[in-house]
Amino acid sequence: MPDAPRDYETEYQRPLPGSLRERIGFDTDRGELTRFVVQLEYRLEGEWTAVVRYDHDGTGDSEFGHDVTEEGLHVDIYRDGEKHATEFITGPLPGGVALDHAEDHLAKNLQRYVKRFEEWHGIRSR
Sorted by where each begins, the domain ranges of the chain are 10-119
**How many residues are listed for the chain in this entry?**
126
Is residue 4 scored above 90 in pLDDT? Answer: no
User: What does residue 38 show for φ and ψ, rounded to 5 degrees?
Assistant: -130, 115
Query: How far is the C-alpha of 76 from the C-alpha of 39, rounded, in Å?
Result: 9
Condensed to tens digits (0 to 9), the pLDDT of residues 29-77 reads 999 999 999 999 999 999 999 999 999 998 877 666 689 999 999 999 9
